[in-house]
Chains A and B, each alone.
Chain A
């Protein structure tokens, strides 16, 4: 009885200090339990060990931030510069909502167009419920990220098998760049959570035989895409395009004749449409807009890389003057740079050098992706197609607009969580074939 009372008092103290910690402490074990459902005991144990380590490392990192912060000088610590801005701004919004007076400058910043996103209101609402939670919001980010990773794990496990699912899970939880934004209060965890949830709902809807349930799941996926729009510009279009393209690809990939016909028709239709000057102008305009975004990144602090010809970086040069050869080079460099940046020649600091191991892993993942795609398509065309379209569309968007190495690495995280599972299939297949070949040689 005394022990129960002590635990109750301890929970009360912790809840008083950080209510979100308590809620996350309840949610995370539930997630771990849910994730292990239906797995073989040995596999469940492996998954739970991986999860426990991942959670422990993340929580300890947040705790380390708390302990390392000199609260006599700053109100709270943060991992990234933008986090502090996000937390402050969400608090200003909370104060405005509660009628607490704030400085007029803060009022202006609270509703500034810059970085306007629904994430601020979500954080503000959360802190309206539980009070100022500069560290608790990190735990929310961790919980969201873990929940989403587990959702994908549960999606991929029956589709591709135990080994690729476990390998993907480990990579999702261990890759440094994904680790970094999984513990952040930035919008990445929420964005990832919404895209992956929409993907999972779309897959479930496509497989669901009952129409009422199918429509309900599609509506949930659609709702997720709509919320994405409030989180990030063009979020709805990107998610909707990823889902539709994924479903169409999955439907056609198992109908080769239809696919060949569709490819031929697509080529003819594209030729007919692209022959129209109005369409050509729009395509060129989209390319120019991408170049403008890219050029904006070039003028940001940090190490940058060039996609355009040097002429087009002059301040007074209009990007619309891009010629056809320059546009072709821009497209080529964008795709190439997305895969290769940062090259060894672009690593010129110790901090950048620390990124080298992950960059090598990235190269391996990219190399394994085509192999993995073939086997993933054979095992589950729907899941493979969905993962592929989400990765490719996210990658294309970033490839043409990015120009800052740090930002590219961070934004690669939009495609990486989907690419990883496909590459994991490739890695496992190669490994399996290598082991099999070794056995043949031994015999």
Chain B
């Protein structure tokens, strides 16, 4: 008997093609599949990381959780490779995070050659510095300039670097530079020869901070440390020529305040009463731009006993207990103070007429 006969049968029994197909189907394919299962390294999977939010800073560590994790893998955070990878088990590992700027990063897991899994938006790096959330208008002057560098600052110019942001609203003309320096409780004006300053009004972004005295201040971030928004405070702002100093003279709210009509009676000596004129502007309210400060709208007369009856247009903000102007609550019967460069009068509110939209309050 031939091994393969003229009909292609093996030992006259099985067709060679059939036998080959059977071997392939019942032997080779199962063996190949078995070998694949046996020698295949299970695919690693990334399920979560803890913590998934970190504050910006060095020497931080996260734990990754997953399946089939192996030694000597790598983890990247948006392209930046993790400093170390310490395997705990097949389901967790410790990873030292490189110092990353604030932001949201995808977390990718690599074996020795390629990426095996990824968590999009897996890690958030939070900013340690507070994000500026308020805008305030300040006026003052850029210091330490020369005539050439002063020309850089024009209305509309934005001074931005990271979370430091300011916009030039108005500029004046250059003048010899004059620094206002605190010396104990006194404030001294010291001229700086060879430099000029540029008066300007800015809109700055700032964040609130509770100071040691429990008062809330708005702070403008700086390259070294934040500076408070307050008269005589020195801001450090980015410019094309580098960092420049801006010393605040006055501070105002950036929003347009509501105008409240206040009638007040100010007891005063006749000489002082005569000094009060229509159009006088309150010089003490640094929180408001000079265009939007309390002003004398009309003088209703001088009463007996030398008390001046005055109607004032007062820019006010609505607080939790009523309308506020320069930390003064505007209510009938409460005291009111008005100060100009020439006089100070203290009186009592007689009536408050609210803006039309707030009549219902």
Contact = CB atoms under 8 A, between A and B. Distances in A.
Interface of A: 271-272, 275-278, 280-281, 283-285, 318, 320-321, 323-324, 327
A324 B87 contact: no
- With most chain A CB atoms within 10 A of its CB, the pick from B39, B69, B71, B94 is B71
A320 B96 CA distance: 12
A280 B84 contact: no
B70 interface: yes
B20 interface: no
Interface of B: 38-42, 44, 68-72, 84-87, 89-90, 94, 96, 112
Contacts of A271: 39
Given A280-B70, A281-B71, A321-B96, A275 B41 contact: yes
A285 B69 CA distance: 14
A321 B84 contact: yes
B90 A277 contact: yes
Contacts of B89: 281
7 contacts: A272-B38, A276-B42, A281-B70, A281-B89, A284-B87, A318-B84, A324-B112
Top 10 closest A-B pairs, CB basis?
A: A284-B71, A321-B84, A324-B72, A320-B86, A277-B90, A275-B41, A277-B70, A277-B68, A272-B38, A280-B70
Contacts of B39: 271-272, 275
Contacts of B40: 275
A300 B137 CA distance: 66
Of the candidates A271, A277, A318, A320, the one having the most CB atoms from chain B within 10 angstroms of its own CB is A277
Contacts of B94: 320
B109 to A, nearest CB: 13
A275 B285 CA distance: 76
Interface of chain A: mostly helix, strand, loop or mixed? helix
Most chain A Cβ neighbours within 10 Å, of B44, B90, B112:
B90
Contacts of B84: 318, 321
A324 B73 CA distance: 9
A280 B112 CA distance: 13
A373 B204 CA distance: 84
A320 B83 CA distance: 12
A327 B86 CA distance: 13
A280 B71 contact: yes
Nearest to B89: A281
Contacts of B90: 277-278, 281
B49 to A, nearest CB: 17
B224 to A, nearest CB: 30
Nearest to A283: B71
A272 B42 CA distance: 11
A318 B42 contact: no
Contacts of A285: 87
A321 B86 contact: yes
Given A277-B68, A320-B86, 10 more contacts: A276-B42, A277-B90, A278-B90, A281-B70, A284-B71, A285-B87, A321-B84, A321-B86, A323-B72, A327-B72
